[in-house]
Amino acid sequence: MNNNDAQLKEIVRQKYSEIALQDKETNQSSCCGAGGCSTEVYNIMSDDYTTLEGYNPDADLGLGCGLPTQFAKIQKGDTVIDLGSGAGNDCFIARAETGETGKVIGIDFTPEMIDKARANAEKRGFNNVEFRQGDIEKMPVTSNVADVIVSNCVLNLVPNKDGVFKEIYRVLKPGGHFSISDVVLVGDLPKGLQNDAEMYAGCVAGAIQKQVYLELIQQNGFKNITLQKEKPIIIPDDILKNYLNEEELSQFKKGTTGIFSITVYAEKPGCVPGGGCC
């Protein structure tokens, strides 16, 4: 890992340690919990979870950018892994899908988030949901164990996205699949947004081009790649003004750059050469 990547990861770790202690309203009115809060909109990033079975308000920090569990095709008895599990919200919804016979593992590299998630699980007596502290570029999980992997607005925070997709491939069982919500770009971000470390921790500056993102998935051997959902993310002017001057703001709003939340589904092939099943 180069110094710049290490620095960015440390920024994210520090920011999400703070976010773990913030209230949901603060996180929702900012960009993934980072950056000056907006007075213009109530909720920039996330979809409404509240009607989903397994939803728990204590575990919802308002940081997501989609509802990957809604699209994840989780079956009873599945082993599900959530990358960047935060306070446990997606894990608890996944548990409602996989049931008592299944298993859910949340991975997060922020100790404060792990503590919060474990407390939430304990409070509810969930003995088939566990939280492991670790890096999603090097998951603390053996190979070929997960039926389903979900992740919600997390990969864009990781400098080495290719490394994460390689790990997802390793950890999924042959024939397993993922459904991941994330933030991507179409067109080039203004330099002010691109270079600001706080916006990196707030999802947007760490995002890559949508086409590059989809190509990474393909290059790592996944098949049946499907865009399950796509929606534009509108960052309000009162946040953008922290990073752009008036002229840059005007150009940005007139330009062809878009920031999108996407949910992508893909499968690990059921039989791969050298995998012992052919």
Q: Are 173 and 199 in contact (CB under 8 A)?
A: no
What is d(CA 45, CA 29) in angstroms, rounded to the nearest whole number? Answer: 8
How many residues comprise the chain?
278
pTM score: 0.79
Whether residue 276 is contained in a domain is answered as: no
Whether residue 61 is contained in a domain is answered as: yes
Whether residue 277 is contained in a domain is answered as: no
Domain hosting 77: range is: 3-267
What is d(CA 239, CA 258) in angstroms, rounded to the nearest whole number? Answer: 16
Whether residue 273 is contained in a domain is answered as: no
Whether residue 278 is contained in a domain is answered as: no
Q: And the tokens for 243?
A: 């990073």
Nearest to 275 by CA among 218, 221, 226: 221
What is d(CA 29, CA 35) in angstroms, rounded to the nearest whole number? Answer: 9
Question: pLDDT tens, position by position, for the chain (278 residues)?
Answer: 566 677 666 766 666 666 555 544 444 444 444 444 443 333 344 555 454 555 455 544 444 455 556 789 999 999 999 999 888 888 988 998 999 999 999 999 888 889 989 998 999 898 899 999 999 999 999 999 999 999 988 888 888 899 999 999 999 999 999 999 888 888 888 887 776 655 655 556 678 899 999 999 999 999 999 999 898 877 778 778 888 888 888 888 887 788 888 899 999 999 755 554 55
Structural domains in the chain (count): 1
- Give the CATH number of the domain where residue 82 resides: 3.40.50.150
